[in-house]
Amino acid sequence: MSDFVNGFWSVYVALITLVSVVGCGVLLWTQSRARTNAAGETDTTGHVWDETLQEYNHPLPRWWSWLFYITVVFALVYLAVYPGLGSYEGAFKWSSRGQYEGEMQQAEAQYAPIFARFQGQDIKAVAADPEARKMGERLFVTYCAQCHGSDARGARGFPNLADNDWLWGGEPEQIKQSIMEGRQGVMPPHAHLGAETVKDLAHYVRSLSPDKLAHDAARAARGKEAFATAGCAGCHGPDGKGMQALGAPNLTDSVWLHGSSETTVSETIAKGRSNKMPAHNEFLGEAKSHLLAAYVFGLSQGDAKK
């Protein structure tokens, strides 16, 4: 057990455990003998009720005592063959980590050829394969649904993967890179611009949406100037259509990751946002990431949904 920083604590835990188990056996032995008085009669505990009702000090029933003895012996045998005495590994050298790794090796041997077969194919071809889609869906539900939802339509702050809007690019290799290496999207805060300028920018951003969101034309005009001079165009582009290389969203479509209300947009501009997609390469590997990328790619393709 790696939790023990030196040998003392390992010995300490082992001794405490053994003394406790053996102590139970000794206690049982002391309670298994009949106690008699000077006349050779079974002694009492001294408790008397209703003048003549006495509590005798009889030993425990033999069947119960033997069950207890068997339990003590079982505990000692268990501690000899399995880990439980400090850093002692046990005669069988069993550990939960070893069992997990063994099961993973068995699963790898069984399923690796299937994953390898799909890994050798183009992602678009894998996305069109019914068997691959079913496998990819199971991978998605296991590793991705916690954030993106079981239907992959996301939630506030988590992108919808079932549409055709992509922060970092929707090409198969870009999706695979996002899965394997993760992404870190950062919108820096702009509170230094002042509350009025932030509000002007919010009105301008809302005016870019094709949804015809309510906005003040005068504020939007001032916001357009601030958009070009305050650094917004450096990430989102002069036309507000975003930049996938930076993960900067397109501001001219109907997709809003954090919400489209004036309050929310103003908060995003003033306080900034930070979104992280964790890397999955270490525990998924390339073969599973390849299959998962094909499934995600297929979600936004009409033919793959059929």
Claim to verify: residue 220 and residue 175 sit in the same structural domain: no
CATH number at residue 127: 1.10.760.10
* Domains in the chain, number: 3
Tell me how far apart the alpha carbons of residues 302 and 255 are, in angstroms, rounded to a whole number: 19
pLDDT tens digits for range 93-144: 999 989 999 998 998 888 889 888 999 899 999 999 999 999 999 999 999 9
The answer as to whether 131 is a domain residue is: yes
As a whole number of angstroms, the distance between CA 123 and CA 292 comes to 9
Is pLDDT of 306 > 50?
Answer: no
pLDDT digits (tens, 9 = 90+) for 201-244: 999 999 999 998 999 999 999 999 999 999 999 999 999 999 99
Residue 35 has pLDDT above 80, yes or no: no
Residue 268 has pLDDT above 80, yes or no: yes
Long-range interactions of 185-189: CB distance < 8 A, separation 24+ = 185/247, 185/273, 185/274, 185/275, 185/276, 185/277, 186/272, 186/273, 186/274, 186/275, 187/268, 187/272, 187/273, 187/274, 188/272, 189/270, 189/271, 189/272
18 and 147 together in one domain: no
Residues 153 and 132 both lie in one domain: yes
Mean pLDDT of the chain: 90
Structure confidence at residue 37 as a pLDDT band (50, 70, 90): low
Nearest to 135 by CA among 121, 147, 154: 121
Is residue 155 located within the same domain as residue 300?
A: yes
Which range marks the domain in which residue 115 is found?
107-182+278-305
- Mark out the alpha helices in the chain (DSSP H runs): 7-30, 62-81, 96-119, 123-127, 130-143, 145-148, 172-181, 195-208, 217-229, 232-236, 262-271, 281-299, 302-305
Q: Are both 291 and 161 inside the same structural domain? A: yes
Average pLDDT over residues 133-162: 94
Judged by average pLDDT, the poorest of 50-59, 136-145, 181-190, 279-288 is: 50-59
Other CB atoms within 10 A of residue 296 CB = 24
